[in-house]
């Protein structure tokens, strides 16, 4: 049964260091694909089934958002049945979108289906201001009148149905590409979106829409062309494996100098992570088209990472690799170019003995021989994963708080790590005295 994994804020994760991992870890469905595909199910005036859905808090929040607009949803192990025949509401409650930015992605499908959508501005989050101007500009190009009033984005299709258009994105935003691609599936005529995001999750969303009868070409390239249709039909669709979860476990093997196998994976989706791991001295072996082995090494060289839109190095892996580079020899640099405030884990890693200097959006990391366990606070989803990885490698014990961040996007991370031999345990805050 899918659980919301919502954690009570007072819990602490205790991580015993100097872990050695071994064995195999199964990878769940992709969070960032699932959330967009759940929004896209609104485009279908029938029911759809989505399989390989991860058991994470963000999925529960999206379920609440879909229910808030009147959708019927049933959950079974790893699957969702979404009946979107009748959408009774065009507006989404603020408290749900405020919890999860991806909630804003329903604006495209609602507008395409109903001709009207009223969705709260998602507002900023720990990693940046996260504006939605590219979404809004694109919807206006598709023939919507958009008013932002009292924090609500109100969009109305001028001619009750959106009209195909040529759209150029100033930045290859994942969310804007997804919103506009979804809106254009039911628009009249052809839409061309230039300078698109090419992330695998965008391609998975396009495949889902096509499975419902949408006419979409070019997903995964810089130009997506959509020929609008009047109606979409039911489908049964399996979500791709989560490349960020897979890469997180690849770093877990490297940082603990261990050997583990990971599947299912789509190796092409991991090219940047594999390249950087090999560059510093870890070994990555493709055992089959969907399974890889990572062999950690006793010593790592330094390297330079710059986050970029796909196929560049993913910003969602920046923090985890930074944790690894704290234990690599020499000076490495990590430059975060996608989000303006995604280096908050630096201070926490320094609490564990890392030597990192910040120069604007560049972190200069001077390798140290070891980290030491400490009480740390997770500030966002990927920062929380990085601190868990650092805790596994450190001397002694790390106590991590802010676990709601972790639960938003990792499906049973602790259980999977324990099955690989790690010693970590969640406890109510204040009961740390008793030894693990």
* Residues near ligand EPZ, by CB under 6 A: 31-32, 35, 101-102, 128, 130-135, 171, 173-176, 197, 201, 315-316, 338-339, 381-382, 409
> How far is 83 from 93, CA to CA, in rounded Å?
20
Give counts: helices (H), strands (E), the chain. 14, 23
CB of 134 or CB of 394, closer to ligand EPZ? 134
Q: Of 300 and 339, which CB lies nearer to ligand EPZ in the complex structure?
A: 339
Integer Cα distance of 238 and 254 in angstroms: 30
For residue 436, the minimal CB distance to ligand EPZ (Å) is 29
Largest CA distance in the chain: 66
Inter-residue contact 85 to 46 (CB < 8 Å): yes
Residue 107 or 292: the one with the smaller Cβ distance to ligand EPZ is 107
Distance CA 289, CA 412 (A): 25
Beta-strand ranges (E) seen in 279-377 are 283-288, 291-295, 304-306, 331-335, 355-359, 362-366, 375-377
> Active site includes 350?
no
Specify the residue, 133 or 287, whose C-beta has the smaller distance to ligand EPZ: 133
The single residue of 44, 125, 196, 209 carrying the catalytic annotation is: 125
- State the minimum distance, in angstroms, from the CB of residue 132 to ligand EPZ: 5
Least Cβ distance, residue 160 to ligand EPZ (angstroms): 25
Q: Output 248 or 258, the one with its CB closest to ligand EPZ.
A: 248
Report the distance separating Cα 255 and Cα 15, nearest Å.
Answer: 14
Strands 331-335 and 304-306: parallel
CB-based burial, 333-346: b 16+ in 10 Å, e otherwise: bbbbbbbebbbebb
Q: Please, which residue, 270 or 374, has the CB nearer to ligand EPZ?
A: 270
Q: Which residue is nearest to ligand EPZ (CB)?
A: 175
The DSSP H or E segment spanning 48 is: strand 47-51
Residue 68: both structure tokens together = 């808030």
Is the distance from CB of 299 to CB of 327 less than 8 angstroms? no
Residues with catalytic roles: 125
């Amino acid at each position: 049964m899918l659980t919301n994994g919502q954690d009570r804020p007072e819990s602490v994760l205790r991580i015993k260091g100097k872990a050695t991992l071994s064995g195999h870890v199964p990878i769940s469905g992709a969070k960032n694909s699932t959330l967009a595909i759940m929004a896209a199910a609104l485009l279908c005036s029938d029911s759809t089934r989505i399989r390989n859905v991860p058991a994470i808090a963000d999925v529960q929040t999206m379920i609440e958002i879909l229910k808030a607009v009147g959708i019927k949803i049933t959950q079974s192990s790893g699957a969702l049945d979404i009946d979107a025949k009748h959408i009774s509401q065009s507006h989404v409650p603020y408290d749900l979108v405020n919890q999860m930015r991806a909630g804003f992605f329903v604006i495209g499908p609602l507008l395409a289906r109903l001709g009207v959508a009223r969705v709260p501005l998602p507002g900023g989050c720990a990693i940046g201001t996260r504006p939605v101007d590219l979404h809004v500009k694109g919807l206006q190009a598709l023939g919507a009148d958009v008013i932002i009033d009292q924090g609500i984005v109100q969009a109305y299709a001028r001619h009750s149905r959106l009209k195909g258009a040529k759209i150029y994105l100033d930045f290859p935003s994942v969310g804007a590409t997804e919103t506009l691609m979804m809106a254009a599936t039911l628009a009249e005529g052809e839409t061309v979106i230039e300078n698109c995001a090419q992330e695998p999750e965008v391609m998975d969303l396009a495949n889902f829409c096509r499975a419902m009868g949408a006419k979409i070409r070019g997903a995964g390239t810089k130009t997506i062309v959509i020929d609008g249709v009047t109606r979409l039909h039911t489908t049964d669709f399996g979500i791709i494996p989560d490349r960020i979860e897979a890469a997180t476990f690849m770093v877990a093997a490297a940082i603990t100098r261990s050997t583990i196998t990971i599947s299912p994976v789509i190796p092409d989706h991991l090219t940047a992570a594999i390249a950087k791991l090999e560059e510093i001295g870890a070994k990555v072996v493709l055992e089959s088209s969907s399974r890889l082995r990572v062999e950690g090494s006793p010593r790592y060289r330094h390297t330079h990472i710059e986050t970029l839109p796909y196929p560049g190095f993913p910003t969602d892996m920046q923090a985890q690799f930074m944790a690894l580079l704290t234990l690599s020899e020499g000076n490495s640099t990590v430059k975060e170019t996608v989000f303006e405030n995604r280096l908050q884990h630096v201070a926490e890693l320094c609490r564990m003995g890392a030597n990192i200097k910040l120069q604007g959006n560049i972190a200069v990391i001077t390798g140290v021989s070891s980290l030491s366990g400490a009480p740390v606070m997770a500030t966002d989803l990927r920062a929380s994963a990085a601190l868990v990885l650092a805790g596994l490698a450190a001397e002694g014990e790390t106590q991590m708080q802010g676990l709601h961040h972790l639960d938003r996007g990792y499906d049973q991370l602790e259980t999977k790590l324990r099955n690989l031999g790690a010693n970590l345990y969640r406890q109510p805050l204040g009961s740390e005295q008793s030894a693990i």
